Amino acid sequence: KAGVTQTPRYLIKTRGQQVTLSCSPISGHRSVSWYQQTPGQGLQFLFEYFSETQRNKGNFPGRFSGRQFSNSRSEMNVSTLELGDSALYLCASSGEGTVGGNTIYFGEGSWLTVV
Amino acid sequence: AQSVAQPEDQVNVAEGNPLTVKCTYSVSGNPYLFWYVQYPNRGLQFLLKYITGDNLVKGSYGFEAEFNKSQTSFHLKKPSALVSDSALYFCAAFRMDSSYKLIFGSGTRLLVRP
């Protein structure tokens, strides 16, 4: 069974640009969440989606947005990039509501560098 | 505020010796508790979880964790460390109410010397 797949793995953007990151959850998982990891702030929650509905959002500016599609794939978008947005962005999925579905699995992450 | 604490930035242990990585939590309700490991330039890899039941949880690669409700702790243990266990370890708590998010500790770097 394939794991959580994130694309792209690495990208470099310029300040002011926007970026879209993609996440394909484990087959059958309907909950997808996003986290930002930086050396200074550690792992911080961005948002969580279940069946195309955002159930929770972290304390990030409105430049950070996301969505989930009917096939449970998710995207997150960051507009007007700032240098401080450089981070590893991690996607996670879980099979909430399924037998043994309460384990949260992470992808390999998307490394974003803003220059 | 809900929080997870990992009091040690780094734990050093000799190969073959037992290891313990500490975690305490301040999260209301009965949270699910997780341990993840992160190798350089990689994502988070699931090790084990506690939901309910037996306080000793066994996970991947010989790791186990002991849940202690009175001390609100969930320490990660391994009887015999390997050099390949050297990595960054994260403890996290998850509330199955309206938050739907993992609250992470700051991470503990484990260094196993040969």
Nearest chain A residue to B31 by CA: give it. A102
User: Are B100 and A48 in contact (CB < 8 Å)?
Assistant: yes
Would the pLDDT of A97 be above 90? no
Chain A residues with beta carbon closer than 8 angstroms to that of B45? 106
What does the mean pLDDT of chain B come to? 94
pLDDT for the residue A67: 97
Q: Which two tokens stand for residue A75?
A: 């995207």
User: Are A48 and B101 in contact (CB < 8 Å)?
Assistant: yes
- Give the other-Cβ count within 10 Å of A93's Cβ: 27
Average pLDDT estimate for A38-47: 94
How far the first Cα of chain A sits from its last, in Å, is 37
Q: What is the DSSP letter of B76?
A: E
pLDDT for the residue A98: 60
- Please state, in angstroms and rounded to a whole number, the distance separating the CA atoms of residues A4 and A72: 11
User: Are B51 and A56 in contact (CB < 8 Å)?
Assistant: no
Chain A residues with beta carbon closer than 8 angstroms to that of B106? 42
Chain A residues with beta carbon closer than 8 angstroms to that of B101? 33, 45, 48, 56, 58
Average pLDDT estimate for B60-66: 96
- Please state, in angstroms and rounded to a whole number, the distance separating the CA atoms of residues B48 and B46: 6
- Please state, in angstroms and rounded to a whole number, the distance separating the CA atoms of residues A59 and A80: 17
A92 Cβ under 8 Å from any chain B Cβ: yes
pLDDT band at A104 (very low <50, low <70, confident <90, very high): very high
How far the first Cα of chain B sits from its last, in Å, is 40
Would the pLDDT of B98 be above 70? no
